[in-house]
A = this chain, B = another copy of it.
Amino acid sequence: MKVAIAGSGALGCGFGYLLQKNGNAVTLMDYWEDHIQSIRENGLTISINGEVDNAKMTIGKPEEIEDKFDVIFVFTKSMGLRSMMEAIKHTIKEDTQIVCLLNGLGHAQTLSEYVSQKNIIMGTTVWTAGIDAPGVTHFMGQGPVELQNADPSQEEAARKVEALLSEAGLNGVYSEDVHFTIWRKACVNGTMNALCALLDGTIKEVFESSQIDFLLNHIVSEFAQLARTEGVELDVEETIVYLKALALKVGSHYPSMHQDLANRRLTEIDFLNGTVARESEAKGLEAPYCQMITQLIHAKEDVLGISK
């Protein structure tokens, strides 16, 4: 199959490499000049669970690519999804399937502006990856990549991508719970990440605060209220138990949104609490905690001088 990776950082390179190795025609797309140049000149050097290989791969900026693809994996940051879709829309055919494994909420909605609902596949993955240098990446784990159509009543596209991934060793798994998993992951990020970023504390410090029950209860309830309107049942009590167990396990570190601020990068708050605030308002629901935390995180970005 003709496959494109829209956003070829560490995770995108891992997927692209394994898919190409299994006989698919893969095109990497990215905007990082040094990375593109290095892969063009020296091939992609990739370590898969410690085993290093070098592969010649096609890579270019979206605007330079003239092909159309059967499947496109989007691996951007949440805030980069829309502009990436704009940049690659000339590579999309009637039946191109778009696979989105990004964290955060609202992505299926964005994708539906570019492809028909039946061709949107949402998913989550536990593969991890990192960039060692331009053109040099590593990729770790064993998956799975859980997949489900954006419209859960359809499954054809997700089944097809499940097979594509599994044949390539990426451990694709069709799941009827992907939407729940995406919501719960967003809820983890919208509580743990957002609060640690705002309060400048470790997960342990924030979860040991006398205020944690109030804060979790309000935020999770707002996520659950909106999830329900999308057919996803997020039990508030169960989610809080899950969050607290997770906090105990991951304890003394700063989550990624805290690191974003520390490294002067914009956060993904608009795709977490921000989406809950915005979509709740559109549906006539109240979500003041998500609304305020979104405003406070943006204010914090402003105070730190992080520009859009």
Residues of B close to A303: CB separation below 8 A: 199-201, 205-206, 209
Question: Is the C-beta of A127 less than 8 angstroms from some C-beta in chain B?
Answer: no
A215 sits at the interface (CB 8 A): yes
Q: Hey, which chain B residues are within 8 Å of A288, CB to CB?
A: 218, 288-289, 292
- In the complex, how many angstroms separate the beta carbon of A292 from the nearest chain B beta carbon? 5
Instruction: Tell me, yes or no, whether A248 is within 8 Å of chain B by CB.
Output: no
A132: interface (CB < 8 Å)? no
Known: A215-B295, A289-B288, A292-B218. A302 touches B209 (CB 8 A): yes
Which of B199, B205, B298, B299 contacts A195 (CB under 8 A)? B299
Question: Could you say which residues of chain B place their CB within 8 Å of the CB of A200?
Answer: 200, 300, 303
CB distance from A260 to the nearest CB of B (A): 15
User: Bound complex: CA of A173 vs CA of B150, how far in Å?
Assistant: 69
Partner of A199, one of B289, B292, B296: B296
A212: Cβ under 8 A from any B Cβ: yes
A292 partner, pick from B289, B298, B300, beta carbons under 8 A? B289
- In the complex formed, the residue of B with least CB distance to A195 is B299
**Docked pose: A134 CA to B205 CA in angstroms:** 36
CB-based contact A302/B215 at 8 Å: no
- Chain A interface mostly: helix
Which residues of B lie under 8 Å from residue A199 when comparing CB positions? 296, 299-300, 303
A198 adjacent to chain B (CB < 8 Å): yes
| In the assembled complex, A211 has its CB within 8 A of some CB on chain B | yes
Q: Mark each residue of chain A from 191 to 213: 1 if its CB lies under 8 Å from any CB of chain B, else 0.
A: 00001001111000110111110
Once the chains are docked, how many angstroms separate the CA of A299 from the CA of B195? 9
Contact with B along A271-292 (1 / 0, CB 8 A): 0000000000000000011001
With most chain B CB atoms within 10 A of its CB, the pick from A205, A215, A288, A292 is A292
Task: Check B198 against A295 for contact (C-beta < 8 Å).
Answer: no
Name the residue of chain B whose CB is nearest to the CB of A305.
B205
Which residues of A (42-70) have their CB < 8 Å from a CB of B? none
CB < 8 Å neighbour of A299 from B212, B292, B296: B212
Q: A198-B198, A200-B200, A288-B289 are in contact. List 14 more A-B contacts (CB 8 A).
A: A195-B299, A199-B296, A201-B299, A206-B303, A209-B298, A209-B303, A210-B299, A210-B302, A211-B298, A211-B299, A212-B299, A289-B292, A292-B292, A296-B296
Interface residues of A (CB under 8 A from B): 195, 198-201, 205-206, 208-212, 214-215, 218, 288-289, 292-293, 295-296, 298-300, 302-303
